[in-house]
Amino acid sequence: MILKQAKQNGIDIIIAIAIILGLLVPSMFLSGIRGYIIPPENGMPLFNTIYEHLFDGGINGWTQVASLLLIFVEISLLVLLNSDFELTRAKPTMFALVFLVLSLTYIPCNTLLPEQIANIFITIGLIKIFACHSMDNASHTFFDAGMCFGIGFLFCAPAAIMLLVGLIAIIIFRPFKGNELIIFVLGFITPAFFYITVYYLIEGTLKPLKDFVQTKINDTRLHTITYNSVICLAADAVQLLIASALIFGDYSKYNLFHSRAYRLLLIMFVMIFCSYFVPMFSLQAMRMTTLPVTILFVTVFYESKPSLMLEIFFGVFVLGNMALQLLWYRL
């Protein structure tokens, strides 16, 4: 069976990953298809400055290469997160396969995005938070976690959600201690404090930052979703519902740490999803959900009881999501 082969860390799944890359990556570089890719919309001033100076403020070959490199960094950190806490026994190749399918099939987001940089720091922050589960004194670790989330926010506006996610995580994983919450918040705002200080020392004014914040706050745009995007979102929603039903069916077998971790990842997904309805954030914010959603699908495919239905679901997940790219090839 296909899924059984995918669970192995052998040459078969490595070849499958190479084929997936060969089929999905060209859309990032083909001029006819690249016209449907949307430039970054949720960048903070730090990201926008880097994007302007290194990539001339537009999508080009270098932005696409940078995006691919960041994808592999995201996968590596996701594998590290799982290896540290064994949320699932799945092999790294399974994480790579699922993450690539989730992150590359939606063509409008196939470029360098601030969400990718935010995901890197969010994953490191989650590693810190999960590590606090068995600590007596976790103050320094919470500060580090808050700082990681805060650095992510320096690049990506929707990453501000991680402030609330982090506070909820502390409440979920630890007995309530007000000082730990305060330390986490201090860690979150520290990167912004240093950035603002350095910015003022270099520029001699904070007016551009104030104007940026004011523009974001006053943004009242209405989100428009294309017909192709509706199809993609509907397909993803059905798959997520099936995967959620499967994992909730096995929820009772998870230990206390794993149940708390999955609860936090669910809260993280829901809060990121809800951010789409905030006028100041665009649909690209959903790129941040690849972390919790990848863990969800990998757990379902690897840990669920083998069955014909699970094999079919796995095949539909891989081939169906890859086929979604064809929506843009026909335009």
Helix (H) / strand (E) containing 100: helix 92-104
- What local confidence, expressed as pLDDT, does residue 119 receive? 97
CA dist., res. 327 & res. 319, Å (int): 14
Place of tokens 């199809």: 231
Mean pLDDT in runs of 10 for the chain (331 residues)? Answer: 74 89 93 90 94 92 96 96 91 94 94 97 95 80 95 95 94 84 95 95 92 83 80 92 86 82 92 84 91 94 88 92 90 63
CA dist., res. 194 & res. 198, Å (int): 6
Strand partners, 141: none
Pick left, alpha or beta for residue 110 (phi over 0 → left; psi -120 to 50 → alpha; otherwise beta). beta
- What local confidence, expressed as pLDDT, does residue 10 receive? 75
- What local confidence, expressed as pLDDT, does residue 294 receive? 96
Q: Report the largest interatomic distance among the alpha carbons of the chain, rounded to a whole angstrom.
A: 65
261 three-class SS? helix
CA dist., res. 319 & res. 296, Å (int): 18
The dihedral of CA 178, 179, 184, 188: what is its sign?
Answer: positive
pTM: 0.93
Q: Which residue from 183, 192, 88, 75 is spatially nearest to 129, judged by alpha carbons?
A: 183
Q: Which residue from 197, 214, 215 is spatially nearest to 206, judged by alpha carbons?
A: 197
Per residue, what are the HEC states of 179-213?
Answer: HHHHHHHHHHHHHHHHHHHHHHHHHCCCHHHHHHH
CA dist., res. 157 & res. 114, Å (int): 8
Check if the beta carbon of residue 260 is closer than 8 Å to that of residue 133: yes
Q: How many CA atoms lie within 13 A of 9 on its CB side?
A: 6
- What local confidence, expressed as pLDDT, does residue 74 receive? 97
Q: Which residue from 17, 15, 9 is spatially nearest to 104, judged by alpha carbons?
A: 17
CA dist., res. 113 & res. 51, Å (int): 10
Q: What is the DSSP letter of 325?
A: T
Pair of tokens at residue 265: 């990842």
- What local confidence, expressed as pLDDT, does residue 133 receive? 80
Check if the beta carbon of residue 232 is closer than 8 Å to that of residue 327: yes
- What local confidence, expressed as pLDDT, does residue 36 receive? 92
CA dihedral 272, 275, 166, 190 (to 10 degrees): 120
CA distances from 67 to 40, 152, 163, 311, 323 (A): 12, 16, 25, 31, 21
Pair of tokens at residue 116: 């990718």
